[in-house]
Amino acid sequence: MKQSPREQEQAKLFGPSKFSAEGFLGDDPRQPEEIIAADKTTVESLGTTCEAIAALIAAAFDRAEAALGDAVELKPGVTAAHFEARGKIPSPFRGDGVFQKGEVAVTEKKSATTIFITRLGINLIRKHGFFQGRGSRYRIEPEAAIRLCLQTVAEK
């Protein structure tokens, strides 16, 4: 099916660029609206909201960033480490602003699961319900965010 001019423009914003070498969709063939709708269904089935998940991962990000490069234990078996990067990256949603680069790797030792959190990723979830496409380095599965980061808010 041929894409409309709007869809073509949108695909450019979410695809690879000079700001995001991999883009925001990974190898996911779905349009951002489809990804958002599917993740919304998942989030609702988990009995939570995108805002609550964004708050969980933001708390984990803040704790790791405050440790100035040292790994912090979010809860037994789950650590987070902040990796600083220079520069800023614009949101793929027009008019959404630009965000400081840098990432936090949250790792669960038992399952060897790692999620990568960025300031932009937090905003995309909070403001748009966009967890990014499957195959994207910065895709955060809602279930993994809850499992890995839940205790960080409770400890504060």
For 24-49, the pLDDT digits (tens) are 999 999 989 999 999 999 999 999 99
Alpha helices in the chain (DSSP H): 5-14, 32-45, 50-66, 119-128, 142-155
What number is the average pLDDT over the span 56-84? 95
pLDDT the model gives residue 155 = 44
Burial of residue 3, with CB atoms counted within 10 A of its CB: 0-12 exposed, 13-18 middle, 19 or more buried = exposed
8 A C-beta contact, residue 35 and residue 127: no
Q: Say what the pLDDT of residue 156 is.
A: 43
pLDDT-based confidence at residue 4 (cuts at 50, 70, 90): confident
Question: Which amino acid does the sequence have at 53?
Answer: I
Please answer whether residues 26 and 135 qualify as being in contact, where contact means their C-beta atoms are separated by less than 8 angstroms: yes
Residue 151 has what pLDDT?
A: 61
Please state, rounded to an integer, the average pLDDT across all residues of the chain.
89
- The residue ranking higher by pLDDT, 16 or 70, is 70
Average pLDDT of the segment spanning 129-133: 97
Q: What is the pTM of this model?
A: 0.88
The reported pLDDT for the residue numbered 153 is 43
43-52: pLDDT as tens digits: 999 999 999 9
Residue in 147, 154, 142, 144 with CA at minimum distance from that of residue 63: 154
Q: Any idea where the domains of the chain sit in the sequence?
A: 31-155
53-72 mean pLDDT? 95
CB atoms within 10 A of CB 153: 14
